[in-house]
Structure 1
């Protein structure tokens, strides 16, 4: 543990200070879950596995922010620490972390990946090595208050301009009627990976919009980007609170679920929470594809998701593989979908009658997933974190009013050219 402590900065060391020395800890340690019901679901599944096998497992919590979580993992893995056996990784991290992760083909049963979405498996495979077992998939969604749209005679917006106009109109009407805390739209505006996802949706929804194409060409310095960011900037302080500049997924959900927002951009996990018995808006929520960037634009939704990986430095790699196989099994994926709205990565589960009855949006979700926007992690490889940082920093500067749109977009293009150098 001393080696880990030496490697971690003070903030992360405080996070881990409660961990016992490995010699006195459980048989395995797993880092999983941070947002919504995710951590509790992981703990319950791990406890069930422990009872079945007789092995004990310690669950280590991590920061909500994906950016901070990645930094946490990089510190631990770079130190070649054996203190955490299994880590939960984002779909954009396999290329960055692959050298520190075990090839799961070595520890999983031969048929463990049968029936999984092939695209998910391909994304988790680096140089022929399966470094992450897909666990659940994500896609950005528009959540809306059905009751308020009906009350004011407004349809679900199909474009960002329509969303802006509807949000402004209903926000004003509700405030005049005494609902002083209502905002029109909340999203993930903090300078972190979540803002990268939002920005890619705004830009990608515009005709001809994009950040980096499949061939690695930089295309962000464009009228489409300027149009998207100009509109997004107009929201802050108007239909979105200034506080949105520090919102991650959970802050936005808190505002929406407490009945203080008309529209929200979030991931599918929020569905189970906003429909829970304690939710102030239970039964009043609908979901839809994120709006298009005008009539000639398209619905663009950033694809996400997470998988489970085994550290190369684990002292119990085979045992860790057994736990990964259990947690990612069809039974557990179905349970997580029913309880926490975490979308499975096994195709047959989308035809499961019980899931279809509980998740009325599943047919929509498949369509949204088909039109999804992938973050350019594959083409940019280990430079993706720098690409994402450049994007969310420049976009945050625009949203906060620190930088004009034209200047920020031009500088972002220059940033990406420096990061790319000759080739990605």
Structure 2
């Protein structure tokens, strides 16, 4: 690959090592994980396996599975497609693990679930020499470990981007993407005054009562200078910074800056709304870039949009570190096949092939310094900026209870059923109770 900037890649590695270390500070200290050596010895058996994942609208994952199946007719991979909703995905995987089900082999896990699944012995430790970890972004590798043991393979990484209608911004005299929430509102006011923007709304993220709300709320708090937990793992949500963040979201719904319909938005609903030309700004992940750029007539914003880091209270915001890991269920058969498939599926060659049809961010740092890749995916420099500042969600063993508490407290504030102050006080109490369990 043609290298553009070794110094830039060094900044990425150093910054993301820090993010990876931060991601581990909230792990519960009282839970022991299974020994790596005993788990690795269980990686035996060959034959058909299943890949358990949410839908992939790009078709990129199916392309990789088809390539594997063509070469391994006796070890075919069958895709078990889970719901789009992240909480439902986790719930079905947890239920399968709790009954020690053999139906699920290879699991596509949100990075923040990895510690929970490892601590509960629901996934099997992986031998590090089976994967090209040295070539991958350090934070993605750390997010796949629990207590210094590798339990998954990094699949793709994520940080939030702000998608902007650059054509309308130019027409309204807005010369740069907003870096603060105040600039976001000012840009919207200018754009929505245009006749051609009469039926549009300003801004949306993911505010449905699911994992996306946890992510968007976390980003708002971090972008206002606050945090959900401190370095000692203690909840810190009943603070002036968190109140500023929640007020930004609540006021956005009340004023109409955020459309009423966005209270039901997950990633796909927001993607479709921006794709159809209904939004000026959208907070979403890199994967939506490909559909916005489609030249087949399906995109109303093709050649009319740009990307930038998300805005914050006083300057560029702080994204949540996202992404996915691929792991092996502890109760699956044919784990030797599963390990080989994971090495193939998450390998650099397949990630390169998938970049041709998907805009999901790769975990190999080399792609970020490849001129051919960044020319085709010009969002990568903005993503790099977001990754350098990204913060993890609380990486706690009881993550399910933690994210549910966040959603239960914050959603009623967005709908106007409770005040921001009451919501944060309730959330602080709930998180303290979870931490004490």
Task: State the partner residue of 1:14.
Answer: none
Task: State the partner residue of 2:317.
Answer: 299
Q: By how many angstroms is 1:413 displaced?
A: 1.2
Q: Judge conservation of contact 1:338–1:355 (CA < 8 Å) in 2.
A: no
Q: Judge conservation of contact 2:157–2:363 (CA < 8 Å) in 1.
A: yes
Residues of 2 paired with 1:74 and 1:235: CA distance? 35
Q: By how many angstroms is 1:32 displaced?
A: 2.8
Task: State the partner residue of 1:364.
Answer: 382
TM-score (norm 1): 0.87
Residues of 2 paired with 1:31 and 1:214: CA distance? 34
Q: Judge conservation of contact 2:410–2:423 (CA < 8 Å) in 1.
A: yes
Which runs of structure 2 are paired with 1:247-262 in the superposition (5 Å)? 247-262=265-280
Task: State the partner residue of 2:156.
Answer: 136
Shift in alpha-carbon separation, 1:35–1:167, aligned structure 2, 3 A: farther
Residue of 70, 79, 83 corresponding to 2:99: 79
Residue of 407, 424, 436 corresponding to 1:409: 424
Shift in alpha-carbon separation, 1:114–1:179, aligned structure 2, 3 A: closer
1:283 aligned counterpart, secondary structure: coil
Task: State the partner residue of 1:218.
Answer: 235
What is the count of residue pairs matched by the alignment? 384
1:44 and 2:59 correspond: no
Unaligned runs of 5+ in 2: 1-46
1:417 aligned counterpart, secondary structure: helix
Residues of 2 paired with 1:84 and 1:409: CA distance? 38
Task: State the partner residue of 2:223.
Answer: 205
1:65 and 2:81 correspond: no
Residue of 132, 145, 148 corresponding to 2:165: 145
Q: By how many angstroms is 1:35 displaced?
A: 4.6
Q: Judge conservation of contact 1:36–1:269 (CA < 8 Å) in 2.
A: no
1:170 and 2:191 correspond: yes
Higher RCO (CA < 8 A, seq sep 6+): 2
Q: By how many angstroms is 1:332 displaced?
A: 0.9
Residues of 1 paired with 2:148 and 2:393: CA distance? 21
Once the two structures are superposed, residues 341-392 of structure 1 have per-residue CA deviations (whole angstroms, 9 ceiling, x without a partner) of 1111112222223212211222222221010011111xxx222222221112
Q: Judge conservation of contact 1:276–1:282 (CA < 8 Å) in 2.
A: yes
Q: Judge conservation of contact 1:168–1:239 (CA < 8 Å) in 2.
A: no
Tell me which stretches of 4 or more aligned residues in structure 1 moved more than 6 Å.
Answer: none
Residue of 93, 100, 110 corresponding to 2:122: 100
1:262 aligned counterpart, secondary structure: strand
Residues of 2 paired with 1:360 and 1:299: CA distance? 20
Q: By how many angstroms is 1:118 displaced?
A: 2.2
Residue of 221, 246, 253 corresponding to 1:236: 253
RMSD: 1.7
1:263 aligned counterpart, secondary structure: strand
Task: State the partner residue of 2:398.
Answer: 383
1:340 aligned counterpart, secondary structure: coil
Q: Judge conservation of contact 1:188–1:252 (CA < 8 Å) in 2.
A: yes
Shift in alpha-carbon separation, 1:59–1:282, aligned structure 2, 3 A: same
TM-score (norm 2): 0.84
